[in-house]
Structure 1
Amino acid sequence: MPTSVPPGSFDRRHRTVVTMDTQRTKPQKKARKTLNKHPKRGGTTPYFRLILVWGVLFASSLVLAGNLYHLQVVHSSELLRRARQQQTTYVNPYIPRRQVVDRNDNVLAIDRQVYTLYVHPNQFKSDSEAETVATDVAKILARPTADITDLFIDGFKNKKSGIRLAPALSEEIADKLKKLRANGLDLVREYSRLYPQENVVADVVGYVDIDRRGQAGIEYSQEQLLERSAQTIKFRKTGNGALLSDRIPEGFVHGEDWKLQLTLDTRLQRAARVALREQMQKFSAQRGGVIVMDVQDGSILSLVSEPSYNPNEYFNSDVNSFRNWLLADLYEPGSTFKPINIAIALEEQVIQPNDVFPDPDTIKVGGWSIRNAEKEDNLSLSITGILQHSSNVGMVQVMQRLKPDVYYNWLQKLGIGKTVGIDLPFEARGQLKNQAKFVSSPIEPATASFGQGFSLTPIQLVQLHAALANGGKLVTPHVVRGLIDSQGQLQQPSLPQPRTVFSPKTTQTLVEMLETVVLQGSGKASQVLGYRIGGKTGTAQKANTSSRGYHSGAVITSFVGMMPIEAPRYVVLAIVDEPKGIAYGSTVAAPIVKSVMDSLISIERIPPSQPIPKVSPSP
């Protein structure tokens, strides 16, 4: 303890001590007073602060735990779905249409990569640049330089953009355009359908439009077979969007290799078109067609319709060319139907092959006069003679032996008034008058006896003549052989079973009669040296739908032949609409059939029916 010093002491040491004690004591008292005053001012103690901090941490932990519970338990499935969605991408790959090939695997239709050229003249810096680029582009596209230059300069002045200049450019041309490195040129890669044979098979194959949808031919009717399955494919991707290569499914790049194979023979198709065009030009005909069919199974080897079109440039063609009139238009078959009627009469046994009928120039039926196309001095004709001379009067007498209702039932049985069910689109249904009118009016069976008063399509006439050639069966004409892969495996579509309509005895008789038509009758122009050919000419008046009569001077000429007679395998029909001049089935259509049969013999390597005599060289 400090020594107490009396007041007023002058001892320096003690004074100093007193002074120091006084200084130390005053602050301590002040501090104590301050501490004692804090509670009164509402301040917090350290314990309260500690409790507050722990409370905040505890409450935060509860919030985090609750949020974690919601994320991991309550919303886990939804969050998992969203995460997978972000990590996954779906790709719809481009799947080309299947190729179309003929029976010899020649490509008829195939998808290819092409480019469309767009021009943006507003990106040119000057008139001179536009002119320079136009000159280069015109040279590559093989188009007039002046036209391209005017287009570019006009577009530059008017700030135009996005002008579609040239579609379906090949990769070779696109590469040349890219090398120009010019402003304002834009090449857009697309896929296009290419038809290497152009118009040779257009009547059958058809074409696809800009949206890649079939509009004609098998491109339209067989869309389901031509379209490959475009299944959406799922990929996993990384955070930066890159696809994981190990996640790409097997076969993504290389798909199945099925092709649609047709029964057509491109070589025969080309030969038939050449022969048809020559006769059409010679007789200034409006249109024409050729059909070659295998009578055993109904497969079409050739189907040519004129006028035709180039499916690669369908947009430049007349829309009427897209309709294959051999399937879509009806006509009265005329004399080419006479063998069918003879077969009906033989089946019903109202005539015999050796029967003879008088052959006057005209015959009266129900107040109407029916005459032969040409006057001949035939007092009478056998059944074979009626076919050889194509006698209308003789046919009327033959079919008059048959009750009208029986005759009508036969026409229905043969499918007149129906379609044949070919696998090409837009086939028309034949027309046959109602039974009451046909039975009650004698003129109806009479005109039907020589192929008028009802109508059918050319393809149906081929089907009926095939029934005569194959022993009496109606087979279904078709152009699709099936889907075939690179290993030669074939998936064939199902076809209706052949339906028997005539007996083999009847058809054999008709085949022999039709051979005499070629040897001695109106079909001489179809003869092929060394081969036995049968056939029938037809020169039918052309019906006028507006007046319910016939066009004056307008005819449809035709010839339908079969070969070889000893074992008929093929039926060939040639039909020419509205030829001018001395136009008959014998002069217009029969030479076409001969030319087509010559090609058919060479292509199919058909052996001759008899030794071909050697022609001695001229001295």
Structure 2
Amino acid sequence: MNVPLIVWWKNATQFMKRTVCVAAVIAMIASGAVIKLTYVQLIAGKTTAEAATASRTVSTTISAQRGNITDSNGIVLAQSVERYTIIGDPKAASTFEPTTCTKATEGNCQSIDGKPVGTTGPAAVAKLLAPVLGMNTMELGAMLTGTNQYVVIKRDVVPTVKRAIDALNLSGVITAQLTTDRVYPNGTLMGSLLGGVDDSGTGVAGIEQMENKLLTGTDGYTKYQRGNDGQQIPGTQTESVAAVNGDNVQLTIDRDVQWYVEQALEQGKAKYKADWAVASVQEVSTGKILALADTSTEEAGSSDAKLNPSHAVTETFEPGSVGKLVTLSGLLQEKQQTMNNKFSVPYSIDVNGQTYHDSESHPTEKWTLAGILQNSSNVGVIMASSNYSLAQRYSYLTKFGIGQSSGMGLPGESDGLLSKDTSWDKRTQNTVLFGQGYATNVLQVSNVAATIANKGVKNQQSIIANVKDENGKELSVQTPESTRVIDPSVASQMMNAMESVAEGYKSVAGVSGYRVAAKTGTAEVAGANGALTGIVADWVGVLPADNPKYVVTVVLKNPEGTYGGLTAGPIFANIGEFLMQKYEVPTSSPRTGAIPVTW
């Protein structure tokens, strides 16, 4: 007969009651376990497995290399080379036990000179690794002691050393992270012009900064599962994206020409005891810059190179009588003068209460406009410009590029200084005619002469020849624009007169076998005390004059000898002779049809 549960419970002994309670609790626990097992296996199994996999999965960055910078002939000027950062795991090192080398363990064991390591833990790792890295064993062992899992042991390790570390079979304890090091094989050549990169590999100065976007690559990555000892579990790579290296930038600069120009400037600076010297070499027909040099000696990539932009880019100065090229071009283009027009030119002249004079005293001379240029007469230029309006004076200065950026984007480049004609005072209104009252730079001076030599067409100067990706595919580069400034007939007259200028300096600035068209300049500049106690001497020359190929501009600060023709001129000739030989330019034909310089 069934006894009601409540009656049974009242009559049950204490032991029976305890037994029932325990059984009930066990049944509840068992039920919970079954439910949990069912949940894990049927519902949360996938999530749990994914979580376990995720805890073992790591992502490793594949570093992209920065693109190369090369000269016009493909010679490397800056490149990134493979380097490694060696990283240790002290926690893993604490349990490291070397594997004795036998036939069975060959290829996955450790020994020193064929003998057992003789110790365990960080000391064992240090004994194996220190000789390869050239480090002190005790110091390395101390670095690997602790409970953390990451310590940088050494940076910028070369690939041969990294391969030697791999042969030690220390995976899980020692890893090598791929990095790059930016190197400049040519030392001080183009030091400040190339600039440099910071610790992250970002261009921060010079061409490295200017072309940083193109030179910088995109890092890739790979994902895999890692075992307890930190080693990659074979076959567990889940995702991999290759790195894309930066583009390679080829310059218009010819390394050999750059080197020669730098040497010529250094010698000229020493000879004439100048504060500094800068120069440029430009191809007439294209506007390409073949050399842009100064006398600074910063190592490319150094802190000095990153802090000090090239003087050839930053230095501005009054061009002095070189500015007469702009004035006479404007006078001819506006048909206010011809090179044959005749003038009686005194030593000094008064205009609107202002007195102007030539650099050296002379009696009244009978010069043509070509003779005024040859003798670099300030007075003659003012006389020829009596109907040349202020607006026209300003217009031609801007058309030739004075006071404007070269358009190349060089970091630190100064535009110079050219104020509007409406703000010129009575004196500046006329000094701008002969290259005073405004500031320019070596690139602007070069392009003035190049425009005349190029039959009146001004090219956009360029220093980037082309850009190619890591596979050698050429990328599009903006084509430089050209604008006509003066007519070909005007340019021809200017070249004729400039050749007469160069003939006056043939003994000191001539290039044997070649005709030269040139203009010299000398201008006062502010000295250390702010007074006009300094001198800038410059020379811009075209050669060959009968078949213009190159424009060479040389500028000196405070040279002994003062005048541009006697100081910058000889440096020009030195560079010019090298260019004619290097590029095997045919010698010039005899000169005919020279415009008279006197009457």
Aligned to 1:337: 323
Q: TM-score when scaled to structure 2? A: 0.74
Cα distance change, pair 540–66 in 1 and its aligned pair in 2 (3 A): same
| Contact 2:461-2:480 at 8 Å conserved across structures | no
1:101 aligns with 2:91: no
Q: Deviations along 1:61-110, whole A, 9 cap, x unmatched?
A: 445445666626xxx6x657645533532222233322221111222112
Match of 2:532? 551
Paired residue type of 2:556: V
What secondary structure does 1:215 align onto? strand
Change (3 A) 1:433 1:601: same
Distance in 2, matches of 1:172 and 1:49, equals 73
- Find the residue that maps to 2:381 and give its secondary structure: helix
Mapped contact 2:279–2:293 kept (Cα < 8 A): yes
Tell me which of 55, 64, 84 is aligned to 1:86: 55
Question: Could you say which residue in structure 1 is the equivalent of 2:224?
Answer: 236
2:370 is the counterpart of 1:384: yes
Cα shift at 1:408: 2.1
- Residue of structure 2 equivalent to 1:563: 543
CA distance in 2, matches of 1:401, 1:59: 108
Q: CA deviation at 1:487?
A: 7.5
Gaps of 5+ in 1: 1-35, 118-136, 141-151, 153-165, 176-186, 613-619
Per-residue CA deviation, residues 212-238 of structure 1 (Å, 9 max, x unaligned), is 34332211211112222223x132225
Counterpart position of 2:262: 273
Distance 2:498 2:383 in 1: 20
Question: What is the aligned partner in structure 2 of residue 307 from structure 1?
Answer: 296
| Partner deviation per Cα, 1:294-328 (whole Å, 9 max, x = no partner) | 1222211111111222236x34x5987x2222221
Q: Is the 8 A contact 1:518 1:525 kept in 2?
A: no
Which residue of 2 is the match for residue 512 of structure 1? 496
Partner residue, 2:171: none
Q: Which residue pairs with 2:515 in the alignment?
A: 532
Distance, in Å, in 2 between the alignment partners of 1:236 and 1:104 is: 43
Structure 2 letter corresponding to 1:401: N
3-state SS, counterpart of residue 400 of structure 1? coil
Percentage identity across paired residues of the two chains: 24
Q: Are the equivalent residues in 2 in contact too, given 1:536–1:561 (CA < 8 A)?
A: yes
CA-CA distance at 1:258 after TM superposition: 4.7
* CA-CA distance at 1:171 after TM superposition: 8.6
Equivalent position to 2:437, from 431, 446, 453: 453
User: In the aligned structure 1, how far is the partner of 2:385 from the partner of 2:234?
Assistant: 79
Q: Cα gap change, 1:206/1:348 in structure 2, threshold over 3 Å: closer, same or farther?
A: same
> Aligned AA for 2:216?
E
Distance 1:63 1:331 in 2: 85
Q: Is the 8 A contact 1:340 1:465 kept in 2?
A: no
Cα–Cα, structure 1 residues 375 and 239, in superposed 2: closer, same or farther, change >3 Å? same
Question: Are residues 381 and 85 of structure 1, via their aligned partners in 2, closer, same or farther at CA, if it must alter by over 3 Å?
Answer: farther
Which residue of structure 1 aligns with residue 285 of structure 2? 296
Letter in 2 for 1:472: G
Letter in 1 for 2:577: D
Gaps of 5+ in 2: 1-7, 87-130, 140-153, 164-175, 592-599
- Where does residue 396 of structure 1 map in the other structure? 382
Distance 1:98 1:246, change over 3 A: farther
Paired with 2:484 and 2:235, the residues of 1 have a C-alpha distance of: 60
Is the contact between residue 102 and residue 264 of structure 1 (CA under 8 Å) also seen in structure 2? Answer: yes
Q: 1:372 to 1:217 in 2, by over 3 A?
A: same
Residue 434 of structure 1, aligned match among 420, 433, 444:
420
- Partners of 2:84 and 2:179 within 8 A in 1: yes
Q: Does 1:351 align with 2:331?
A: no
Counterparts of 2:178 and 2:54 in 1: how far apart (Å)? 30
After alignment, is 219-228 or 48-57 more displaced?
48-57
Letter in 2 for 1:242: Q
Higher fraction of helix:
1
* Cα 1:249/1:292, change in 2 over 3 Å: farther
| 1:578 aligned onto 2:590 | no
Q: CA deviation at 1:203?
A: 3.7
- Aligned residue number for residue 591 of structure 1: 570
Any idea what the Cα deviations from partners look like across 1:446-468, whole Å, max 9, x if unmatched? Answer: 10011001111111111222111
Aligned in 2, Cα 1:37/1:276: closer, same or farther, shift over 3 Å?
Answer: closer
Take 2:442 and 2:372, find their aligned partners in 1: how far apart are those partners?
A: 23
> What is the CA deviation profile of residues 430-475 of structure 1, one whole-angstrom value per residue up to 9, with x for unaligned ones?
212233222xx44222100110011111111112221111122222
Deviating more after overlay: 522-531 vs 556-565: 522-531
Closer, same or farther: CA 245–498 of 1 in aligned 2, 3 Å: farther
Q: Which residue of 1 aligns with 2:207?
A: 218
Does the 8 Å contact 2:499/2:517 carry over to 1?
Answer: yes
Aligned AA for 1:516? S
Q: Kindly indicate whether the alpha-carbon contact (under 8 Å) linking 2:466 and 2:475 is maintained by their aligned counterparts in 1.
A: yes
Letter of the structure 2 residue corresponding to residue 586 of structure 1: G
State whether residues 533 and 562 of structure 1, in contact with CA within 8 Å, keep that contact through their aligned partners in structure 2.
yes
Provide the rounded CA distance (Å) in 2 between the counterparts of 1:115 and 1:69: 47
Q: 1:527 to 1:437 in 2, by over 3 A?
A: same
Shift in CA distance, 371/274, structure 1 to aligned 2, threshold 3 Å: same
2:112: which partner in 1?
Answer: none
Mapped to 2, the partners of 1:171 and 1:236 lie a distance apart of: 23
CA distance in 1, matches of 2:582, 2:274: 28
> 2: distance between equivalents of 1:106 and 1:437?
49
1:201 corresponds in structure 2 to: 190
User: 1:178 maps to which residue?
Assistant: none
- TM-score, normalised via structure 1 length: 0.72
Separation (CA, whole Å) in 2 of partners of 1:593 and 1:248: 64
- Aligned equivalent of 2:44: 71
User: What residue identity is the alignment partner of 1:108?
Assistant: L
* Contact 1:283/1:583 (<8 A) preserved: no
CA–CA distance in 1 between the matches of 2:214 and 2:449?
30
Distance 1:191 1:490 in 2: 24
Is the contact between residue 518 and residue 524 of structure 1 (CA under 8 Å) also seen in structure 2? no
| TM-superposed deviation, 1:338 | 0.8
In structure 2, relative to structure 1, the CA distance for the partners of 1:340 and 1:191 (3 Å cut) is: same
Per the alignment, residue 541 of structure 1 pairs with 524
Task: Give the equivalent residue in structure 2 for 1:374.
Answer: 360
Cα gap change, 1:213 to 1:363, in 2 (>3 Å): same
String of CA shifts for 1:123-156, please: whole Å, max 9, x gaps: xxxxxxxxxxxxxx9xx9xxxxxxxxxxx9xxxx
Supply the distance in 1 between the matched residues of 2:553 and 2:9 (Cα, whole angstroms): 126
